[in-house]
Amino acid sequence: MQQPSFDLSGQVALVTGAGRGLGRAIALALANAGADVALGLRDIAADGGLADEIAGLGRRALKLQMDAGNLDQSRAAMDEAIAKLGRIDILVNNVGGGGSQGPVEDFTEQTFDDTIGINLKSSFFIAQYAGKHMIARGSGRIINMSSQAAFVALPGEAIYCIAKAAVSHMTKCMAVEWGKYGITVNAVAPTFIATPGTAPALADPVFKADVEDRIAALHRIGEPHEVAGAVVFLASPAASLITGQTMLIDGGWTAR
C-alpha cells in the first residue's frame, strides 16, 4: 500500500516575500523538506543570511530581486529562477499587506487601489506567469497567501478582507482551469502570526489580549513555522488530491 510522502527532494520552489516573517519560515521549511529555493526579495541585499542558512541544509538557494508590486521585475525574477535552477515546481505566492485601516465610509479610492493591487492583482499575475511555465511542463504546485480575513469581517479592514476573500476565490478558479495540466492550486489563511509585520499591533496589550481571546480554541498567537508546515504539506506529494482549497490556520478563530 502506498504511503503518503512529504519529501520535496529534487523540487525547486520559489517563495515571494522571503526576506522575513512567514516567507522566511516557509523558505526554510521547504529547504528542510528537500527543495531548492529561489528567494523573492524586495531588497536582494537584505536576505538576513537566509540563503546561507538554506545552503547549510545542503540545498541550492538563489536570491532574486523581486518586489511583488513591480510585475515586470517579478516576471524577470521568475525567468531568472527558471534559467538558473531549471524550473519552478512550487510557487509560494506570499504576497500581501493590510494597508490602511479605518471605517468603510472613509476609505479613499487610492487606498482601495493600493490594497487590492498588492493583495490581489500582484497575486494573480505572479501566479499566472508561473502557471504558464507549469502548464508547459505539465505539473506544478501553487500555494497562495490568503488570510482568516477572507472568512470573517475584521472591523476597520474591509478592503483587506475583500482582497483576501478574492484571493481564496481566485485559488478555486485557477485550480479548476489548471487541474488538467497536473497543477494544484491551494491557499493558506493564517490568523495573527508573530512576525515583524504584526509586531507593532501586537505590542498593544489590549489588542493582543483581544486577539488571543478571539483565537477561540487555542488562545495564543501563531508562530511562522505553524504556517510553514501547512505550506510544505500542500506542496508535497501527500496533498496530490487537494486543490482549490483554502486551509485556515487560525487556532479556532473562525470556529466560534
152: phi then psi, degrees, rounded to nearest 5: -130, 155
What secondary structure letter does DSSP report for 117? I
CA dist., res. 72 & res. 87, Å (int): 19
Q: Is 129 a catalytic residue?
A: no
Bridge partners (DSSP) listed for residue 13: 37, 90
**CA dist 119 to 98, 147, 163, Å?**
8, 10, 6
Element (H, E) at 63: strand 61-65
Could you say which of 124, 160, 178, 233 is catalytic? 160
Q: What residues contact residue 201 under an 8 Å CB cut-off, 6+ apart?
A: 192, 207
Contact (CB, 8 A) for 218 and 225: no
CA dist., res. 144 & res. 187, Å (int): 4
CA 248 to chain CA mean position, Å:
13
Terminal Cα distance for the chain, rounded: 38
How big is the chain, counted in residues? 256
Q: What share of the chain is helix, strand, coil (3-state, %, to 5)?
A: 50, 15, 35
Single-letter amino acid code for the residue at 144: N
Q: Which residues participate in catalysis according to the annotation?
A: 160
